[in-house]
Amino acid sequence: MIAKEAGIAVSTTGFILSGKARKMKISESTEKRVLGIAKDLGYVPNAMAKNLRRNRSSIIGLLFNHLKHHWADESLRGVRSVLGDTEYAPFISTHEFDAKLLEKETELMLQHRFDAIISVPFKEGKASYQRIIDNGTPLIFLNDTLDGMPDVDVVAWNAREASKTAMNHLLSLGRRKICFLGWDDKRRMIRARAEAYKSSLKKEGIALRKNWLRLFPLDADVKETIVEIFSKKSRPNAVFCGLDIYGTQVIGALEGMGLRVPEDVAVIGMGNQPGSEFSSVGLSTIDSPNEALGAKAASLALELIERKTAGPASRFLLRGDDLIVRRSTKL
């Protein structure tokens, strides 16, 4: 119908609709006329058929654990800043820490011939990640890595150095009785936060009190733990939180006990998550370079797509240790 309306051959129309007008030396005026007619007639290309012919989709999959907090939105913004006017577009999905759901999402991305997949690694998802690798689809781990998968490219926040910055800030305030609250997750960059806490204490000759190092599920309520720790005669004068979501709870719990922040207890978090800047919270924190991480992962994905042959895995640890001082540590 489009060819008839335009008064040209069906084959010429096909070349234009498949984006081959320049290659086939079809004039720009004819191309514009055919595309205008196609738009008026509501023509939508059959992407699946096109993908089968090209064996690609021009889609880069983003597999996130969840979309809570703000890191996913900022990472996606970084991805889009790189894809920009390229032929590629991102497609985002989550598995909510469910291995079966990750397997399903992975299979759909492979069936639809996604050109690359960027995934926040999930330790229970190794079988799905191996399926991506075996399929020959470029895979990039975002913001962490998994033990036992050294051949996967990685773009991550250098959480160890960022955590040292947080600890150095507390120590510079003369706080030597420091408690740590972190996420109970075995991935390397999550573990690095507690490891940096312990190494910073050791460097200063401060004994580690095991009762002051607590790990929790991601969405845990830490208020009861704070009440327990700070109800004792010997208590910390600072709290380092591996995630801002714990820090905001800590401030509320301490002030609910009648303790002054920061006069009695200094508190610092990690991530600069929305809400931490509110005057009622005022949580000092380390800013996470989420947008830069997304941009670097997207750039690496494009590079791997064009490379076509596998090479040694790349590991990019992005520096992100910008200290943001707010009222929770500012005397």
Q: DSSP letter string over 14-41? A: HHHHTT-TTTTT--HHHHHHHHHHHHHT
| Tokens coding 106 | 């992975």
CB 146 within 8 A of CB 134: no
In the structure, what pLDDT confidence band is assigned to residue 202 with cuts at 50, 70 and 90? very high
Domain with CATH 3.40.50.2300 in the chain: 53-157+290-319, 159-288
% the chain with pLDDT above 90:
72
CA distance linking residue 163 with residue 73, whole number of Å: 23
More confident residue, 52 or 194: 194
Average pLDDT score over residue span 160-165: 97
pLDDT over threshold 50, residue 52: no
CA distance linking residue 310 with residue 331, whole number of Å: 53
pLDDT over threshold 80, residue 37: no
H-type alpha helices, 222-317:
223-230, 244-256, 290-307
pLDDT over threshold 80, residue 193: yes
CB 216 within 8 A of CB 181: yes
Q: Which of 71-80, 213-222, 311-320 has the lowest mean pLDDT?
A: 311-320
Question: Does residue 262 have a cis peptide bond before it, meaning omega lies within 30 degrees of 0?
Answer: yes
What is the b/e burial string over 255-271, where b = at least 16 CB atoms within 10 angstroms of the residue's CB?
A: eeeebebbebbbbbbbb
Measured in residues, the chain has a length of: 331
CB 187 within 8 A of CB 144: yes
Q: Which of 95, 97, 131 is nearest to 114 (CA)?
A: 131
| Homologous superfamily in CATH for domain 159-288 | Response regulator (3.40.50.2300)
For the chain, give the mean pLDDT: 90
CA distance linking residue 170 with residue 13, whole number of Å: 68
Q: Which of 25, 47, 49 is nearest to 16 (CA)?
A: 25
- CATH code, residues 53-157+290-319: 3.40.50.2300
In the structure, what pLDDT confidence band is assigned to residue 31 with cuts at 50, 70 and 90? confident
CA distance linking residue 145 with residue 200, whole number of Å: 23
pLDDT tens-digit series, residues 110-156: 999 999 999 999 999 999 999 999 999 999 999 999 999 999 999 99
In the structure, what pLDDT confidence band is assigned to residue 293 with cuts at 50, 70 and 90? very high
